[in-house]
Amino acid sequence: MINVIGLGYIGLPTALMLASHGVKVVGTDCNRALVDELNAGRLSFEEKGLNELFSAAVNAGIRFTHEYQKADMYIVAVPTPYDKRSKKLDACYIVSAVKEIMKVSSKGAIVVLESTVSPGTVDKYIRPVLKSGGMVIGKDINLAHAPERIIPGNMIHELKFNARTIGADNPDIAEKVKAVYSTFCEGEIVTTDICTAEMTKVVENTYRDINIAYANELAKICRSDNMDVYEIIRIANMHPRVNILSPGPGVGGHCISVDPWFLVGDYPGLANIILAARKINDSMPEFVLERIHDVMKERGLKDVTRVGLYGITYKEDVDDVRESPTLQMLECMEKHLAHGVKVYDPWVKRDIVENQYHDLDKFLDEVDMVVILVGHSELKDNMHKLRGKIILDTRNVCDLDGVYRL
């Protein structure tokens, strides 16, 4: 039996996928309200294909509880935030999970850490906890790291088809973990040591962060001299060895905007490009505010309450607002005592900010200027409704005339 610890954006789909492919699974989360919702047949977030997967897993016998179970394998998918001062990983959640596992685990059980962590985390935090509890690693308990590689909006497909990395102390344990993931994963599964697996996942997200930062810095450079960054990128990308990404209002989500800080915190003085990229991407919400100010001034719009922000989530067609550029921007406005801007997102059903709307037409009726921060499909299908509005498009998705861009 496998006990999946943490039933959030990663743990829940993983547990459901395993259960629906014939593995006996119990999902555990410390949030009792979440567990109650799952046991009542209600999902905690929206995701394409998740309802069908949930039904299949329930029919296969998956259970949800707030208690840790005696199991042969534990898959730990709990949050791994970073300390905003030191930039280092905060390992409190994974340490807490391991301590609870120690109380109930079978002899020889395998603990698989799925949460993304900085290189050396297992050595620095997990092994000492196990040893201090009197456990012999490799005998009483075994360790592995299998970092997730999925993205909200395409989770089910990527769980099935993305390649995976499994790090373990010895090849036999790696193969046992590989066999479990092979029940549903059709992508290549590579086995290696734990530290390499830890570093590989962080490197992947850092690579993307740096590439996004390059595009965002180009946007700033081009804006300073009134050049069209999108046309420049389009032409540059015709080169067979150039692939510049599109600039945007910032970087959100719990991976790309967080994981590079692990390297900055652990390797100060060495992670220089990584630090510069993080600073560039973190500066984009404020850059968008400057663009809003410039456009308002040009168009003679003085009332900020007539400005509407379209999009709260960190990317299109998901309900995930973690590290959202829109929320970062609103926080910046709050610091400057700027209030009254309207906000709307079709994917965010509950009120999480002031002046949040839940109907597109009502939102548009109340604003003269629309700032596109997320390119949801709903907007793309209703772009005609923006005619007559002042539009600042930070995602390059609007093809109406007279649109302002980054």
Q: Please state the domain extents for the chain.
A: 2-192, 204-405
The answer on pLDDT for 158 being more than 80 is yes
- Give the tens place of pLDDT for each residue, 166-194: 999 999 999 999 999 999 999 999 999 99
Residue 342 has a pLDDT of 97
Alpha helices, DSSP H, located in 225-350: 229-236, 259-266, 272-299, 325-335
State mean pLDDT over 302-328. 96
The answer on pLDDT for 276 being more than 80 is yes
C-alpha–C-alpha distance, residues 7 and 10, integer Å: 7
State mean pLDDT over 379-399. 97
- Give the tens place of pLDDT for each residue, 102-147: 999 999 999 999 999 999 999 999 999 999 999 999 999 999 999 9
Is 195 a known active-site residue? Answer: no
C-alpha–C-alpha distance, residues 213 and 206, integer Å: 10
State mean pLDDT over 323-336. 91
Q: What pTM, to 2 d.p., does this model score?
A: 0.92
**And the tokens for 321?**
């607002």
Least confident residue range of 52-61, 146-155, 334-343, 351-360: 334-343
Sheet holding 404-405, edge to edge: 356-357, 342-344, 307-310, 369-372, 390-393, 404-405
State mean pLDDT over 37-66. 95
State mean pLDDT over 245-252. 97
Least confident residue range of 46-50, 72-76, 143-147, 292-296: 46-50
The answer on pLDDT for 60 being more than 90 is yes
| CATH architecture of the domain with range 2-192 | 3-Layer(aba) Sandwich (3.40)
Instruction: Report residue 223's pLDDT band, with 50, 70 and 90 as the boundaries.
Output: very high
Instruction: Report residue 26's pLDDT band, with 50, 70 and 90 as the boundaries.
Output: very high
Sheet holding 189-192, edge to edge: 63-65, 25-28, 2-5, 73-76, 109-113, 141-145, 164-168, 189-192
Of the candidates 7, 205, 226, the residue with the CA atom closest to the CA atom of residue 97: 7
| Fold match, 2-192 / 204-405 | yes
**And the tokens for 387?**
């005619």
The answer on pLDDT for 335 being more than 90 is no
Considering 185, 222, 255, 398, which one is annotated as catalytic? 255
C-alpha–C-alpha distance, residues 172 and 3, integer Å: 20
Residue 16 has a pLDDT of 97
- Give the number of other CB atoms < 10 A from CB of residue 171: 12
Considering 87, 178, 185, 201, which one is annotated as catalytic? 201
- Give the tens place of pLDDT for each residue, 300-310: 999 999 999 99
Residue 305 has a pLDDT of 96
The CATH superfamily assigned to 204-405 is: NAD(P)-binding Rossmann-like Domain (3.40.50.720)
State mean pLDDT over 60-73. 97
Residue 174 has a pLDDT of 98
Residue 88 has a pLDDT of 87
Residue 82 has a pLDDT of 84
Residue 336 has a pLDDT of 75
Residue 368 has a pLDDT of 98
C-alpha–C-alpha distance, residues 181 and 199, integer Å: 20
Is 201 a known active-site residue? Answer: yes
Are the beta carbons of 406 and 291 closer than 8 angstroms?
yes
